[in-house]
Amino acid sequence: MASPEAVRVRRRAHVALFDATTLAAKGVKDQLVARSFPAASVRLFTSSADPDSNLTEFRGEPMLVTSPDIDTLQNLDIAFLCGSRADGARYLDWAGRAGFVAVDLTGAAGATGDVPLVNASVNPEAIATGPGVIATPHPVAQLLSTLLAPVRRCCGLKEAVAVVLQPASHYGERGVDELYRQAASLFGFQEMPKEVFGRQMAFNLMPGWFREETRGNDSGRTDLEGEVRRVTGGGYALGVQVVQVPVFHGHAAMAHLVLEAGSGPDDLAACFDDGDEIRFERRGDKATPVERAGMAGVLVGGIRPGLRESAFWIWAVCDDLAGGTVRNAVRIAEAVLQRGAGQGGRA
């Protein structure tokens, strides 16, 4: 069934995916199909000079992946940048030069103050109406901004402290594959690969800064608190820490929220009533990463008393592909078409 946004969109767009064989690109392709995105054409590109494979698929049909050439992109409306931060940086100026809208999932544009940072369910008004770059939040910031925005709006959020559990899929197929191979090597008494995580991740936990110390911050440092404040409008104290966990997919967060005086648990639960983007748990819901796999939106549950009056602990879970940054990227593209942006409104 087509999404409400897709139903409203009457234009058809020429679309491209850069680094189309990555895990993020797979998620974008799945969301384009699931949400019946009105694509007039789809082109798939890779940044690799010697790709492992130049064949992938879209809507079940095989498609070739080629190297992008800016001179061939004059009819492009919307592009999704899906590779590494370094890959994304290579293409940031192409949008303005060739006249299309680039939705950046790589993090390359997120730290740039003049590039809109958009969570489509929180600040869609920030979406630009002409060619250029639109940044998606870091997956952790995407989850937290979706979680905190309705609390700020409905209950008057004063302070939030969150510990976010980050899956192996944050590092793409390489992270998922290494976690699998580490687990297999332990059972098989074999040497353990550590190229991605720098140490044993299987059956282990580690704070996010461990990988930076071991491997170097090769993906660039993200100001998670700053991104969440930019998206939600701020006005509250915020602290965020990330723990890398041996889970293949799905982010989860344990957050301590301090609300305006007089707010109770029922007030907090009532904040999470926003359709399929975020909702409070109902009887029978399973709020763990494994049980939310493939499901859209953020599920909130487990409201417990906090450290003071009108303070509470909550638990939130989101599938990072079906309900996180890639879904947000496609929703941004839908809004771009709805507003007539891309190619000066030609889309």
201: CATH: 3.30.360.10
Q: What DSSP assignment string belongs to 147-169?
A: HHHHHHHHH-EEEEEEEEEEPGG
How many angstroms separate the most distant Cα atoms in the chain?
A: 61
- Which residue range forms the structural domain that includes residue 220? 141-318
**Total of domains in the chain:** 2
Is there a single domain that holds both residue 184 and residue 240? yes
Is there a single domain that holds both residue 128 and residue 213? no
Instruction: Give every CB contact of residue 187 below 8 A, 6+ residues apart in sequence.
Output: none
Is there a single domain that holds both residue 221 and residue 98? no
Angle at 16 between CA 12 and CA 19, to 5 degrees: 155
Is there a single domain that holds both residue 153 and residue 112? no
64 Cα distance to chain centroid: 26
Is there a single domain that holds both residue 257 and residue 165? yes
225 Cα distance to chain centroid: 15
pLDDT beneath 50: ranges in the chain: 1, 6-7, 9, 213-219, 343-347
- In contact, 78 and 333? CB cutoff 8 Å: yes
Is there a single domain that holds both residue 21 and residue 81? yes
101 Cα distance to chain centroid: 18
Is there a single domain that holds both residue 129 and residue 145? no
Is there a single domain that holds both residue 241 and residue 300? yes
pTM: 0.89
Is there a single domain that holds both residue 105 and residue 165? no
Distance CA 161, CA 85 (A): 27
What pLDDT score does 60 carry?
78
Residue with tokens 């850069």: 18
Q: Which of 20, 12, 135, 131 is nearest to 68 (CA)?
A: 20
- In contact, 94 and 87? CB cutoff 8 Å: no
Is there a single domain that holds both residue 148 and residue 261? yes
Is there a single domain that holds both residue 225 and residue 262? yes
Is there a single domain that holds both residue 70 and residue 159? no
- In contact, 150 and 274? CB cutoff 8 Å: yes
What pLDDT score does 338 carry?
86
Q: Which of 209, 282, 153 is nearest to 199 (CA)?
A: 209
- The CATH number of whichever domain residue 55 belongs to comes to 3.40.50.720
What pLDDT score does 236 carry?
96
**Structure tokens given for 100:** 């299309």
Distance CA 184, CA 211 (A): 21
What pLDDT score does 112 carry?
65
